[in-house]
Amino acid sequence: MQNDEKLQDCIAQFSNKYSKAKLVSAIEGFQWARDSKEASLQKRKQLSMTYHSWVTSGANSESAEDMANAVYKWGFGNRKSPPSLLANLTLFCELNRHWYSGQDRQKMTTSLSEFLELKGIGIASASKWICFADENRFAIYDSRVSAALRTIKVRGKVVFPTVGRRPVSGKKYPYATPRTNDQMAHDYLFFIDFVNDIAKSYGIDSPAEIEMGLFMLGDKEENWT
- Tens of pLDDT, residue by residue over 126-166, are 999 999 999 999 999 999 999 999 999 999 999 999 999 87
Per-residue pLDDT at 64 exceeds 60: yes
Percent of the chain, pLDDT > 90?
A: 88
Q: Whole-model pTM?
A: 0.95
Query: What DSSP element (H or E) covers 153?
Result: strand 153-154
Q: Distance between CA 121 and CA 184 in Å, rounded?
A: 12
Q: Distance between CA 29 and CA 23 in Å, rounded?
A: 10
Indicate the domain borders of the chain: 3-29+37-219
